[in-house]
Every structure is written in structure tokens, then in C-alpha cells.
Chains A and B, each alone.
Chain A
Amino acid sequence: MQLTVWTYEGPPHVGAMRVATAMQGLHYVLHAPQGDTYADLLFTMIERRAARPPVTYTTFQARDLGGDTAELFKTAAREAYERFKPRAMIVGASCTAELIQDDPGGLAAALALPIPVIPLELPAYQKKENWGAAETFYRLVRALAGARRERTSRARPLCNLLGPTALGFRHRDDVIEITRLLARLGVDVNVVAPLNATPDDLTMLGDADFNVVLYPEVALPAAQWLEKNHGQPFTKITPIGVGATREFIAEVAAIAKIDASAVLVEDSSRLPWYSRSVDSTYLTGKRVFIFGDATHVVAAARIARDELGFKVVGLGTYAREFARDVREAAKRYDVEALITDDYLEVEAKVAELQPELMLGTQMERHISKRLGVPCAVISAPVHVQDFPARYSPQMGFEGANVIFDSWVHPLMMGLEEHLLSMFREDSEFHDGAAPSHLGGKATVARQPVASEPVEAAVAHTPEQPEAFSSGAPIQINWADEAEKELRKIPFFVRGKARKNTERFACERGVATITIETLYDAKAHFAR
């Protein structure tokens, strides 16, 4: 039993959903109780997907447990097939269904549907989301890739891109960037999977000469199987950062037996010059702490030290499956890797190290806000703001440009923050408003003195009608109870509510604002 405040990864069936949702023509029938449909909103809200995830939940309830939950599963699977007509189906259980042991695989097989039905065994009490995604992708590839075949020789080598899923950190744009990079090298892409692939596409995986593993967390088991069974070598270098992208190009060239020297001499990224420009001097030796999935952490550490001139003061991962890689990387920076999925431990480490920049996940964004540390997100788990409208890959040369911008900008804001805190007495920052992203470190709010007369700002503003701009400013008092009431209004609209109420009182010649005035004004200004 583990005490958990926030989790870095969901349960393994959410990993399976990330694969199913990324694909086209695949349907997932999940034996699960009421409530597990919450996972749909990860995709429709965080990623703003325009379609529901292709998942049917059986929604069993307590009263079904004594009855026939197996029949419920069969009905759900049959109906899902008839309604969605998928080209393949995956079936499995969420954590609760695992306990009732209905065997979704066997039940689905008994339906004899005319499509491939792939059972998933995702032990919810041992494994987590990334493992679930990798296992699901591996099972799909195994089931659908078919037998090894003769590959015709081509003028341009052909590869598959493996690993991008729904809800992945910048997967959408990484695929575009790497596809372009490969095209410049003279390599064509056969199948991208799981993202936007159909089950039929997976049957063509064996046509490629080799595989590019974009995200080992998802694609490694499938790539290893394809290497063994289809004789396809796969790439080991993740092209994040200028140096890693160059090495990735060399690796691809070696596997594909092509000459990449022309691409390597091109001036492909602005990062090296931006980093050398004098404006970047202030980045030197900035102390960074890095936490996330293994691939992004290892890549980020290298960029931080070798390409931006930061000092890596700590790094770690929540992905225990890849702990060895991260520990090895940590040795290169002379730090000890933090391997944990306990958010509180990470927070304690950040508090202890007091870095000047945090490179982490959505979770570290929380920690950083609490501790007042600038932060950039480099890895899943992510939130809605990590799915930007603009093109913003992490991989390849354009990815390096994006990384330069997104890691340096929080630091500039850090300078601004110094200015803000130097002039804390500035009238715009009173009312207890510490800089927003230093929430946890906010100094004690100045409690407004209830009886203090408030000079109605309205009397001074030029856009007010004549009647109010002449004469002395009207003295308006807030009654104690009204002032207290005002404080219940969220801070980010409180100022506006105060101003509106005072304007309302001023226009009506009300000298003392009562709770009634406050709400009269609220009704008056209601949009």
C-alpha cells in the first residue's frame, strides 16, 4: 500500500487507451465499473481531441457482481463491433474487473467476431501507464505484423516510426519533424505507429528496412520483436537536442547505408548561435533539476550542460523500467539519480537543491509554483497548455530551437519577478497578491483595513462623465461585513468587483458600501 498524493502515471489500461486513441479503426472494449470513463476526458479535454476515444466500457455495478458480469462484457463487445465496425479490437480489464476474473479475452473469442481480437493482460496492481502502452503496442504488432517477408531493394531506404501515441508530449510535431529530417537524408517512412495508424497499416510494418524508435517507453518491446522476427534493426539514439540529432543522423546513415555528410554540415538549428550570443551569458552555470520520463530526462541533461551551459544539479525519473539508463546518465553529471514515483519525494529534493530552473512534468510545474522556481515542461504527464496550437516539436533541429526558447523564457520571467518583488509596495501589487507563480512563497497578505476610507478611483479617471470629475473625490466607506464579503470573491476578479461596486456606489451617492450594495452592483453589472 503506497500513500500517493499525485501520480505521474495512470493505470496500465490508460496506456492501452493512449495506443487505441492514437490509432484509426481499432476499438478497445474495457471491462470496467462506472466511473472509469473519466479517462475519456484526458483525451477530449487535455489533448482537445475532437472525437471520443474508441473505447467501450462495460460499466458494471455492485448489483451485477452477484449476477452475470461476463454476459455484460459480451453484450458490450458485440454492440461495440456492430456500432463501430472496427478493423481490429483489443479487449481487457481495468483494475476492478481484474479482481472479478471474467477473462475478457476468452469471452471475446467466444463471440467469434470476424476481425482480429487481441486480448490484453495488463496487471493493474503491478504495472503503470507507460508499461501498459508498450505492452499494448507490442501485442498489436505481434498479432498483426504477420510473418517475415522478402524485402525488395529500393533506391531510397524505408523505415517505420514507432512510439508516438495520444496524450504524448509533442508526439504530433515530433513525427512531422523527424519525417522531414529523414526525407532530407533520402529515407522514406513506411508506417508511423501507433499515431494515426490503422490495424491494416500494422500488417505492412515488415516492409520497412529498419525502425526508428522515437519513444522507447512505448516502442521498445515492439521494436525488439520486429528486430528478432522481421530482421529490422532499430535506432537507439533519441534525436532531442542538437548533438543527439546529429548522432541520430549518423546512426540512421549507418543503418540505411547512406551518406549523410551533406545534411550534417548544414547550419540546421539556431540553438548553437543563440547559446553563443552574448545575451546568453547569464545562462552560464544556472543550476537545473531535471525530472520526467527516462528518454526526455537523459536528453534534457545533455542539452542543459552541453548546449546551454547550465549545471545539472540533480536528475531523476518516475519510470522504474528505465532506471538503469537514468542512473548511468546521472554519473556523467556527477549526481545521484532520484528514482521515484512519489511526488512528495521529488518536491523534497527540489526544496533541498533549490535549483534556478526546473525541467520536469506537469507535476514539477506544481512543485515549482509552490517553491517559486521557474519551470519548463519536458516530459509527460502534461496538461492542456502542453498541447500548443503552434508547431512545437522537441525532436530534430527545429525541436532544439523550441527547447532553447521554452527553457530560457521562464528565466527571463524570473528577472521580471525580481523587479516585482523589489517594488512590492506598488499599489497594483497589494491586496496580498504575490507574483502568481510564487504562490507557495507568497508573503502574508496585507489585510485591507475595513474602516479605511477608499478613495473612489472612478472620480479621477478621465473617461468618466463630467458630473463625477468635478469637485472633491467622493469618500466611500466599506462596511466591515461588505469588506469581508468581498474577500470571499476569488482574488483574480476581486479588484474588478471592488472597482465596480465603488463606481456603482459613487454613481448613486452611496457613502457606505454594505453587502446589499455589493450585490446590487453585482446584479447591475451582470453580463
Chain B
Amino acid sequence: MNAPAPVATRSASPVEGCVSSPVLRERGQHEVFCGLTGIVWLHRKIQDAFFLVVGSRTCAHLIQSAAGVMIFAEPRFATAILDERDLAGIADIDDELDRVVARLLERRPEIKLLFLVGSCPSEVIKIDLKRAAQRQSRVHSPRVRVLSYSGSGIETTFTQGEDACLASLVPTLPGEAADAPRSLLVVGALADVVEDQFARLFDELGVAPRRFLPMRRATDFPAVGPNTSYLLAQPFLGDTARALEARGATRIAAPFPLGAEGTTLWLRAAADAFGVSRDHFDAVTAPGRARAARAIDHSLNMIAGKRVFLFPDSQLEIPLARFLSRELGAELVEVGTPYLHREHMADELALLPAGVRLSEGQHVENQLDRCRAARPDLTVCGLGLANPLEAEGLATKWSIELLFTPVQGYDQAGDLAELFARPLTRRARLEV
């Protein structure tokens, strides 16, 4: 069976798909991580940065549990755990923080960029980490630059932690000269291998200069200015986008580079903005599109026609649902997202089939009721729900794997399809 050739045609009318569909907004228990969890991948992405959470034992326990306590190298994150003395004002928080940071930098002389990361407790007791970061920067400059952001659960959900982190970086990026040629900034953490593939594609397309945020080295700050066009590689970067616009950069609107179609539309949006001809674009992307189609084809049989339910997790749900529906032929039962950014998601929503149930926020018990009633063939959900739903007879895909695996771009489209197919394949194989 051949994959439907993803000949990418931009959706003609903005009212198509789910752009104006009603959204079920719910509040109640959220079965999601807080923004601190982003540290698990960010600390690997920026190779000489360190993340110091100022929080409670719960924060430390969360990060190590989310990381699966499986990272055997000494991690580039830690928690400064607040205790009674800090809360009662017996210890001076500034002094304590200075002491902890000094100890840390002494242990890790290779660190060039330090993030002080706010948490629920630090926000509730109003520790001013921004001021602390400025003070620390003065003390440790020029060796270490110190920034701050909040990954607290009262303000951020899971991937919004990356948004807050990148947004804190933007004001510190060097400015681009007013007469600089037009440049592309790709925004959002991607696996290194994916980033390199995209860099090669942009080079072949002749989209240059192109830069990436976050950068791999803390000293490699990409420049930004009024001639910067930025292209979001991840769908959860609302604050970062605002910060970039405050620096004069303009957004290239596009769907996200998940699946062959998403990748083509995403690359083409940039190519169009840089005046790349259609013929050249088609020539450069043809091998990738063909490979993606071939690779996706392996999983197509398993997923086509299957009913899929996505619980809210990373804000990747809408692009993933689009991929599942348009390239794998799945039927969407419900697409949950922790937060719906209408503007950034507009091109994605236009591609979703009309009438899909979209939900934002969560009341996990009500959502589980809907899921059980619908009995989908595949449920995409977090680690807290997966085994219990499997035990109820529902096939599940852990959503966190969709974030911790390279899935963007042509050469990962097949891997992405396979991630959804694997639980179904496995069920089909097991005889016990």
C-alpha cells in the first residue's frame, strides 16, 4: 500500500478544518508535568548550561522521576532545596543562594550559562530570582552569565518551561545590524541530528544565514533584529515569540515539521519568505519527501482507520493529530491540549478534519470517562495514566516519548509513525 503522496498544498481557506471549531475548556485535576520538566532535555541541548531550580524537595523529586533516574552522567541540573530556615527568614535567601551558586560553580568550572529556575514555592514566597540572577551575573562575570525563568506548575505546563527558558534568553541575544541581510532563526529545541538535517536543507535551499535557538553552546548566541524572520519548530513557544517580536523579529507562519506534509509546509513557509523558487524547493525536498513516504508506509496498515484519543500533555497534540489524520489515516476521537495558542496553531487547525473534538485544560476524571466511553484503538497519554488504561484493555502510547525522541523532519517521519504503530503491533503479537 502506498502512502498518500503528501503533495503539500496549503489549505486554501482559513475557515477550513477546525479553525473555528468550539473547544471544550475544562478545569479540574491536571495530569500533566510542570515546566520544570523541560530541564530534562534542555540541560542536554545547551551543552555548557546548568539549571539550578530554587524550590522544594518535591521539585527535585519530580525532575529525577521525570528523567527516570536513568541519566548516569552527573546531570547539569540541581535543586537548591528550601528549608524551614529559609521560609522563616532565619537564613537570608540572597546569602544562601550566593553560597549555593558559588559551591556549584566551583564544582563545575565548565559552566558558562546558569539558569536560576523558579518553582511553585519560590513563586509563592516571592523570591526575586531575576534580581538574584543579575547580582550573580555581576559576581561571576565574565566567566558565567546568569539568567532566570520560572518553571513553576502554578504558571507553566510541561513544555511551557522551555518557552519560559528561551524567552529569558531572547533579551540577551546580540542585536543584528539594521542593514543586516534577512536571516532565519529556527526556534525550539530539536534533537541535534534533526537540527543538522534542517540546517543542510536550508543551506541547499539557499536560506541563509540560518541560526537556531536554543544554541548548543552557551557562548554561541544567535543574533536577532528587525531583519530576523523566525520560524517556530515547536508549538509551545508563545512567550518566546513575543520576546522575539519585541526585538523586531517577525514570525513566519507555518504548521510544525511533524510528518512529511508538516515538514514540507514548514520548510516551504521559510523558502517562500526567502524567495526560493518552487522548482528549486521541489528539487531540494523531493528526496526527503520520497524517503518519508516510504518510511511512513511501513506503519500505515497498522494505523489507518484506527480511532485515536490524545490526552493533553506537551502542546504537540494538535500537530500530531494532524499527522495521524492526514498521513496515517487515523480517526481522531478527541484531541486534548494543555493550552491552545490560536494564532500559532492556526495553520494546524486548518488541516484538521472538521468536527474533531478539541479540548483545552483538563478535568482528568471527566476526560477518562469520555475515553472509556469511546474505547479508542489507541490512547496517547502521560505515564501516570498509561498502565492503568492498558489494564482496562486500552492500547496506549506514552506521550513523553514523542518529546524525548527525534520526530521532526523527513527522515524521522517514519520513526514518528512507528511510535504510534508499535503499541498496536505489540498487542497483535502477544499471545498472553
A binds B: yes
**Residue ranges of A at the interface with B (Cβ–Cβ < 8 Å):** 1-7, 9-11, 13-14, 33-42, 44-45, 48-52, 56-62, 64-65, 76, 79, 83, 94-96, 99-100, 123-126, 128, 362-363, 366, 369-370, 381, 383, 439-440, 485, 488-489, 515-516, 519-520, 522-524, 526-527
Q: Which residues of A contact B91 (CB under 8 A)?
A: 1
Among A1, A36, A44, the residue within 8 A (CB) of B82 is A1
Given contacts A2-B80, A35-B153, A125-B83, contact A40 B384 (CB under 8 A): yes
Q: Does B34 contact A (CB under 8 A)?
A: yes
Q: In the complex, what distance in Å separates the CA atom of A170 from the CA atom of B65?
A: 20
Of the four ranges (under 10, 10 to 19, 20 to 34, 35 or more), the interface on chain B belongs to 35 or more
Any A CB within 8 A of the CB of B137: no
Would you give the shortest CB distance from A260 to chain B, in whole angstroms? 42
Contacting residues, chain B, for A57 (C-beta < 8 A):
29-30
Contact of A59 among B30, B298, B383 (CB under 8 A): B30
Distance between A339 CB and nearest chain B CB, rounded to angstroms: 17
A37 touches B30 (CB 8 A): yes
9 A-B residue contacts at CB 8 Å? A7-B57, A14-B58, A35-B157, A36-B153, A50-B390, A61-B154, A125-B83, A370-B72, A526-B295
Q: A33-B120, A37-B30, A96-B121 are in contact. Are A52 and B388 (CB under 8 A)?
A: yes
CB < 8 Å neighbour of A488 from B34, B192, B391: B192
Q: Does B155 contact A (CB under 8 A)?
A: yes
B391 touches A7 (CB 8 A): no
Contacts A33-B153, A370-B72, A519-B291; is A52 near B120 (CB within 8 Å)?
no
Q: Which 9 A-B pairs have the closest CB atoms?
A: A35-B34, A35-B153, A40-B384, A50-B391, A96-B120, A1-B96, A41-B383, A95-B56, A34-B153
Among B291-342, those with CB < 8 Å from A are 291-292, 294-295, 298
A45 near B387: Cβ-Cβ < 8 Å: yes
Known: A34-B34, A36-B153. A49 touches B387 (CB 8 A): yes
CB of B1 within 8 Å of the partner chain? no
Q: How far is the CB of A405 from chain B (nearest CB, A)?
A: 24
B252 within 8 A of A: no
CA–CA, A370 and B154, complex, Å? 36
Min CB–CB distance A27 → chain B (angstroms) = 12
Q: In the complex, what's the smallest C-beta–C-beta distance from B264 to chain A, in angstroms?
A: 16
Residue B276 CB within 8 A of the other chain: no
Other 14 A-B pairs with CB < 8 A, given A33-B120, A52-B385, A76-B29: A1-B80, A1-B82, A11-B56, A33-B34, A34-B32, A35-B62, A35-B153, A37-B30, A37-B384, A40-B385, A41-B384, A58-B29, A366-B72, A488-B193
Which residues of the other chain, B, contact A519 by a CB distance below 8 angstroms?
A: 291, 411
Scan B11-42; emit 1 where CB is below 8 A from any A CB, else 0: 00000000000000001111111111100000
- Taking a contact as CB atoms under 8 Å apart, the answer to whether B31 and A40 are in contact is yes
CB of B152 within 8 A of chain A? yes
Asked whether, in the complex, the Cβ of A7 is within 8 Å of the Cβ of B154, the reply is no
A527 x B298 contact (CB < 8 A): yes
- Chain A, Cβ-Cβ closest to B412: A522
B386 on interface, CB distance cutoff 8 Å = yes
* Contact indicator B86/A62 (Cβ below 8 Å): no
Contact with A along B38-73 (1 / 0, CB 8 A): 000000000000000010111011101110010011
Q: Knowing A5-B74, A56-B29 touch, does A79 contact B365 (C-beta < 8 A)?
A: yes
B7 within 8 A of A: no
Please state if B383 and A44 are interface contacts (CB–CB under 8 Å). yes
A57 to B362 CA separation, bound complex (whole angstroms): 12
Does any Cβ of A come within 8 Å of B84's Cβ? yes
Q: Give the chain B neighbours of A14 by CB distance below 8 A.
A: 58, 61
Binds A, one of B97-105, B206-214, B346-354: B97-105
Contact B33 A35 (CB under 8 A): yes
* Contact between B152 and A1, CB atoms less than 8 A apart: no
B75 within 8 A of A: yes
Contact of B33 among A38, A64, A96 (CB under 8 A): A38
B200 within 8 A of A: yes
Beta-carbon nearest neighbor of A515 in chain B: B200
Q: Which of B29, B64, B99 contacts A37 (CB 8 A)?
A: B29
- 1/0 contact string of B373-398 vs chain A (CB within 8 Å): 00000000011111110110000000
B388 touches A10 (CB 8 A): no
Q: Please tell me if B196 contacts chain A, counting CB pairs below 8 Å.
A: yes
Interchain CA distance A266-B61 in the complex, whole Å: 45
Residues of B within 8 A of A6 (CB): 60, 64, 69
Instruction: Confirm or deny: B124 has a beta carbon within 8 angstroms of a beta carbon on chain A.
Output: yes
Contact A7 B72, beta carbon cutoff 8 Å: no
Q: A1-B83, A35-B153, A59-B29 are in contact. Are A95 and B414 (CB under 8 A)?
A: no
B134 to chain A, nearest CB (A): 19
**Given contacts A44-B386, A523-B291, A60 and B193 within 8 Å (CB-CB):** no
Q: B432: CB under 8 A from chain A? A: no
Nearest CB on B from A346, distance (A): 13
CB < 8 Å neighbour of A50 from B56, B97, B387: B387
Confirm or deny: B275 has a beta carbon within 8 angstroms of a beta carbon on chain A: no
Which residues of chain B come closer than 8 Å to A381, judged between CB atoms?
Answer: 69
> Among A7, A58, A96, A526, which residue has its beta carbon within 8 angstroms of that of B414?
A526
Q: Which residue from A62, A126, A369 sits with its C-beta under 8 Å from B83? A: A126
Residues of A within 8 A of B104 (CB): 3
Contact among B69, B96, B97, B123 for A62, CB-based, below 8 A: B123
Taken together as a complex, chains A and B put the C-alpha atoms of A3 and B93 apart, in Å, by 13
Per the bound structure, the CA–CA distance linking A523 and B69 in Å amounts to: 32
> Contacts of B96 on A, CB cut-off 8 Å?
1
Query: Is the Cβ of A125 less than 8 Å from the Cβ of B87?
Result: yes
Query: A11 vs B121: C-alpha distance in the bound complex, in angstroms?
Result: 13
Partner of B154, one of A34, A56, A124, A366: A34
B81 within 8 A of A: yes
